Structure 1
Amino acid sequence: MSNATLVTIDRVIATLAGQGIGAADDPSGRAAHANHNGYNLLFVLLDSVLIARADSVTDTPADTPDATLYLAANQVNSSYLDARALVVNRTENIVVRTEAEIPVGAGLADDQLATALNASVAGVMETQDAMRVLVGEIKRTAEEAGAEED
């Protein structure tokens, strides 16, 4: 086992490349962007944590009174441990964002970084999938309840 070393965005990019994810750094040197399975991925390196994030833009306007996405995020966050779901309504359409954190303050060995990145990417992707399924279930249930009232 190798020694733990400082996690840099260059190490993150190289490790992701080894996992088949092409990421590019931004001018800050603290973040990397990638597109993976149709999702925009962002990796942000802070002092003690690396944040892995997946964004999915929806067709739902940000000013919608429909709370379905918020309800789904609440349900996901109360049952999933690998990542958390957020509903971002600061753009024209709502963005479903999933995030996972990797503690990096003490540094990580190459194999630790690879394992943590693999788990984080899997976690944010699975949480995106869970959001999609839950939104569908909530909408179906609401439609069935509406049909029964008629």
Structure 2
Amino acid sequence: LEGALIRTMAYISISGLSMTVENIAPVIDPPSEQVEVTPDTVMLAVAETLNVSVDDMKGSSRRREVSSARQLGMYLVRQHTGLSLPKIGEVFGGKDHTTVLYSCDKISKQLTKNPELNRTIKQVNDRLSLSSASA
């Protein structure tokens, strides 16, 4: 339930639409022909959008561009998949579930303050839509 609310708020924030049943219906009840997004496709889309490597995102680098990409990747994997925090941590190179939780919370808080982050998320989601359509 919390995930659905977060997805809805992010969608409304990114799209700039008002919160009506018609506008949020695709988020709450996506079309059945939609291809499932995997953690690997999310990581690849984030890596391509932010010009970092997937290996860097799975690694332990603390460089700002890498850690920001990793945090965004964790947030989007959580949004797009049903994986638990520990599973997301495993996908990102064995990170602890608390690291995943911190990353998701940090991105969620930045969504309201950072329009550039909203644009980046839209770019990643657009890449995911394109890759899903070609799958």
Common topology (TM > 0.5): no
Larger radius of gyration: 1
- Report which of the two has the higher share of strand: 1
Query: TM-score when scaled to structure 1?
Result: 0.29
- Report which of the two has the higher share of helix: 2
